[in-house]
Chain A
Amino acid sequence: QVQLVQSGAEVKKPGASVKVSCKASGYTFASYGITWVRQAPGQGLEWMGWISAYNGNTNYAPRLQGRVTMTTDTSTSTAYMELRSLRSDDTAVYYCARGSGDFHFWGQGTMVTVSS
């Protein structure tokens, strides 16, 4: 069965970087893209960007462009999302999801807290 397992919760100081991982299993990793979505406490869902696991092509949300980098490691079927220059409003649950549009499978979420 398809599974996306994300790395554990992180606490970071403002200005630092965070890298969240998403390990996929149960399907051919390179056949699907991975999307990252975040949700601030009590808020809605925000699409962050997408990466092709086939060729590494990416699309990022304009408001995060320049601070976010998405990568994949096909040898371990793992996707990564790195966010730099963290601010307090980056505090959120970060989700990975499989798909290039509609997301049929999701990771369990990773809480990232940015606090001094």
Chain B
Amino acid sequence: DIQMTQSPSTLSASVGDRVTITCRASQSIDFWLAWYQQKPGKAPKLLVYEASKLESGVPSRFSGSKSGTEFTLTITSLQPDDFATYYCQHYSGYLWSFGQGTKVETK
């Protein structure tokens, strides 16, 4: 099975900060990776798919990138609505999995 290692598990930041979250796959997954945002008591919301494609309606301050088996979600200027938990998820092959999650909290 392909394992996704997400870091950090918690990130303390302030409004306006540039935030970077990383996921590393245990083997090649091409560009089959998505990023989700989840707020307490709510279903996850798709932000980025196929590593770098921004979901319709998602603010342009969010972006995804890929370098080999390392994937990055960047928020260029953190907004109050962005404090949440973020998950990566691979969908290469037939068995998919999520990263462990990154909670973005107020510094």
A residues at B contact (CB < 8 Å): 35, 37, 44-47, 50, 59, 61-62, 95, 97, 100-104, 106-109
In the complex the two chains form, what is the Cα distance from A65 to B64 in whole Å?
Answer: 33
What residues of B have a CB within 8 angstroms of the CB of A50 in the complex?
A: 96
What residues of B have a CB within 8 angstroms of the CB of A62 in the complex?
A: 1, 95
In the complex the two chains form, what is the Cα distance from A61 to B101 in whole Å?
Answer: 19
Partner of A59, one of B36, B55, B95: B95
In the complex the two chains form, what is the Cα distance from A35 to B99 in whole Å?
Answer: 17
Q: Count residues of B near A (Cβ-Cβ below 8 Å).
A: 23
In the complex the two chains form, what is the Cα distance from A100 to B89 in whole Å?
Answer: 12
Is B34's CB under 8 angstroms from A101's CB?
yes
Having A62-B1, A101-B49, one finds 20 other A-B pairs with CB under 8 Å, namely A44-B87, A44-B99, A45-B36, A45-B38, A45-B44, A59-B94, A59-B95, A62-B95, A95-B43, A102-B49, A102-B89, A102-B91, A103-B34, A103-B36, A103-B46, A104-B46, A104-B55, A106-B44, A106-B45, A107-B43
In the complex the two chains form, what is the Cα distance from A109 to B42 in whole Å?
Answer: 8
How far does the Cβ of A102 sit from chain B's closest Cβ, in whole Å? 4
Is A108's CB under 8 angstroms from B43's CB?
yes
What residues of B have a CB within 8 angstroms of the CB of A59 in the complex?
A: 94-95
Is B89's CB under 8 angstroms from A45's CB?
yes
How far does the Cβ of A92 sit from chain B's closest Cβ, in whole Å? 13
Is B100's CB under 8 angstroms from A44's CB?
yes
B residues at A contact (CB < 8 Å): 1, 32, 34, 36, 38, 43-46, 49-50, 55, 87, 89, 91, 94-101
In the complex the two chains form, what is the Cα distance from A104 to B48 in whole Å?
Answer: 10
Q: List 29 A-B contacts (CB under 8 A).
A: A37-B44, A44-B87, A44-B98, A44-B99, A44-B100, A44-B101, A45-B38, A45-B87, A46-B98, A47-B98, A50-B96, A59-B94, A59-B95, A61-B95, A62-B1, A100-B91, A101-B49, A101-B91, A101-B96, A102-B34, A102-B46, A102-B49, A102-B50, A102-B89, A102-B91, A104-B46, A106-B43, A107-B43, A108-B43
How far does the Cβ of B35 sit from chain A's closest Cβ, in whole Å? 10
